[in-house]
Structure 1
Amino acid sequence: MNRPLDLDAVQAFVRVAELGSFTRAAEVMQATQAAVSLKLKRLEDRVGCRLLERTPRYVELSARGAAFLEHAREMLAAHDRALATFGEARQRLTIGISDHVAGPELSALIARMNAQDPQLVIEIRIASSGDLLQSFDRRELDTVIVRLHAGRSDGEVLTEEKLGWFAAPTWRHRAEEPLPVATMAEPCGVRALAARLLDSAGVPWREVFVGGGVPAVAAAVVAGLGVAALAPRMLPFGAVDVRSKLGLPALPKLPVLLHTRVKSGRPRDALTALSAAFRSAVRG
């Protein structure tokens, strides 16, 4: 046990553990899945125990792997701090993320990016997809991660996410009244989509809560004010999909798109990791 650990193998272990997938870890590391698997095997041979349990359907940490994970992160962070003493200039990455994409896992993802690359200054702006795309076009942002926006056909599809009509489990709709809906303020694309579908289906509706960001809309739903068109991961545990019960129109899967001018270097590495993490979060 006197030989030092291979940092590349340690990094591969951390990536697989965080993303829950050899395929996604390989994507982030810009390597093949076979190369990542080989690094993990060498690390496990070196420490003399299995760090990850693998099945055809999932990857999860073993007990030893869970105990080692935080030490592995600290090791990589120390390595980056050591390199930083040689005076490499800090780089800046400005990212805009749509309200309807930035879920509850965002803070943990950004904290992880900051810890892994202290030489990269990350700035985040949360807004509507339309506003962010305008800022991107004005070159005020390096990158935006947004929902599909009307009139735009560019961008890289990161993943697709299903939306539903959600309400509090104890909420009941009074049939004689218009459907009470909680929404984001204009120019929210999801709001426009939901309104168009309700109108096309002949469902009378009225807005009972508008604006404040997706967390505020989710809070209005849980408080029993009405229903909202949201992705399941945006809602606290306990909210229920009421589409079938109320006969509401089906909501389509909406793409999550990446628009970026970042092509290489540390910012691109961080962006690749963030994109893979979003795919994992959306797919669950």
Structure 2
Amino acid sequence: MANPTLDIEAVRAFLRIAELGSFTRAAEAMRTTQGAVSLRLKRLEDGLGCRLVERTPRSVQLSARGAGFLEQARKLVETHDRALAAFTGARQRLTLGISDHVAGPELPALIARMNAQDPHLLIEIRIGSSGDLLQSFDRRELDTVLVRLHAGRSDGEVIAEEKFGWFASPSWQHHAGEPLPIATMPEPCGVRIMACQLLDEAGVPWTEIFVGGGVSAVSAAVVAGLGVAALSPRMLPFGAVDVGPRLGLPNLPRLPVLLHSRVTDDRSREALAALSAAFRSAVRG
């Protein structure tokens, strides 16, 4: 067999499948169809003369040959992108805002995915409240924001929806007859407003016991046993439990995560597509 010539986009497709564990999510990250990703992988496998991915109705796994090819594939794409960046000149910048209620423990992995998509794209990330980030986006201080649904806005692309619950430390006990102690972020946090409105509508007396400048501070208050917080399970501090059913608290709805973006260039859009696909993967588990 003649020495094969590797198609760089086919190699990229293989890497996205390996990283995301799904043809569907790889297609989302590459802004193409699942059929196109499958075709690229087949072209690569035919060229190499071996199967790289084992696909079943329930899972996608690398074959032994695929696992062995993975690191070389990464090096090939990185070398290709370095050579292209050196030829084209200055690095392009993407300014991205991520809501504190969205940026969770997966943030390093999400950043890594964007960097893997385009190592020579300069990414500037700002963490803040959804409201503040949207204002910065409207003032054109940020190219893109990844935020929670914000009252009064109907724009943005829904990336995922997450469930929420009422979480507390396992040792925390609510004293009968006393208002429910709530740990929150300050206004205009949309999760805070939503949680407090639901408590009021359900006739549950409550009081703010702690106001934190970020989700990590609110989580720390929960761990310290100060009270209850409305949080996504993805953001949970270690050992926290959902006390909503035990206390008869109102059910919290699934809240959407939206991407607002004005970028039009292919490099930034492809990096954001990789971010979106990785985030969907993290939320779905």
Instruction: Give TM-score, length-normalised by structure 1.
Output: 0.92
What is the 5 A alignment of 1:246-265?
246-265=247-266
Q: Does the C-alpha gap of structure 1 residues 219 and 4 become closer, same or farther in structure 2, counting only changes over 3 Å?
A: farther
Rounded to whole Å, the distance in 1 between the matches of 2:269 and 2:10 is 21
> What displacement does 1:261 show?
0.8
> What displacement does 1:248 show?
0.5
Flag structure 1 segments of 5+ consecutive residues without an equivalent. Answer: none
> What displacement does 1:45 show?
4.2
Q: Which residue number corresponds to residue 76 of structure 1?
A: 77
The alignment partner of 1:89 has SS state of coil
Q: Which residue number corresponds to residue 27 of structure 2?
A: 26
Q: Does the C-alpha gap of structure 1 residues 27 and 208 become closer, same or farther in structure 2, counting only changes over 3 Å?
A: same
Q: Is the 8 A contact 2:117 2:270 kept in 1?
A: no
> What displacement does 1:48 show?
5.1
Question: Residues 207-253 of structure 1: CA distance to partner in whole angstroms, max 9, x if unpaired?
Answer: 22211311222232233222211111111443222211110000111
2:215 is equivalent to residue 214 of structure 1: yes
2:9 partner amino acid: D
Rounded to whole Å, the distance in 2 between the matches of 1:64 and 1:235 is 38
Question: Residues 132-181 of structure 1: CA distance to partner in whole angstroms, max 9, x if unpaired?
Answer: 11111111111111111111111111121111111223332222322222
> What displacement does 1:279 show?
1.4
Q: Is the 8 A contact 1:20 1:60 kept in 2?
A: yes
The alignment partner of 1:85 has SS state of helix
Question: Residues 57-98 of structure 1: CA distance to partner in whole angstroms, max 9, x if unpaired?
Answer: 332344554444333222211111111221432111111111
1:19 partner amino acid: L
Q: Does the C-alpha gap of structure 1 residues 116 and 74 become closer, same or farther in structure 2, counting only changes over 3 Å?
A: farther
Q: Which residue number corresponds to residue 131 of structure 1?
A: 132
Q: Does the C-alpha gap of structure 1 residues 4 and 231 become closer, same or farther in structure 2, counting only changes over 3 Å?
A: same
> What displacement does 1:49 show?
4.7
Q: Does the C-alpha gap of structure 1 residues 80 and 194 become closer, same or farther in structure 2, counting only changes over 3 Å?
A: same
Instruction: Give TM-score, length-normalised by structure 2.
Output: 0.91
**Total equivalences in the alignment:** 284
Q: Is the 8 A contact 1:194 1:229 kept in 2?
A: yes
The alignment partner of 2:18 has SS state of helix
Q: Is the 8 A contact 1:180 1:205 kept in 2?
A: yes
The alignment partner of 2:87 has SS state of coil
1:3 partner amino acid: P
The alignment partner of 2:81 has SS state of helix
Q: Which residue number corresponds to residue 102 of structure 1?
A: 103
Q: Does the C-alpha gap of structure 1 residues 52 and 207 become closer, same or farther in structure 2, counting only changes over 3 Å?
A: farther
Rounded to whole Å, the distance in 1 between the matches of 2:6 and 2:85 is 21
> What displacement does 1:47 show?
4.5
Q: Which residue number corresponds to residue 158 of structure 2?
A: 157
Q: Is the 8 A contact 2:113 2:278 kept in 1?
A: no
> What displacement does 1:22 show?
0.7
Flag structure 2 segments of 5+ consecutive residues without an equivalent. Answer: none
Rounded to whole Å, the distance in 2 between the matches of 1:137 and 1:15 is 32
Q: Does the C-alpha gap of structure 1 residues 228 and 4 become closer, same or farther in structure 2, counting only changes over 3 Å?
A: same
The alignment partner of 1:86 has SS state of helix
What is the 5 A alignment of 1:51-62?
51-62=52-63
> What displacement does 1:4 show?
4.4
What is the 5 A alignment of 1:213-252?
213-252=214-253
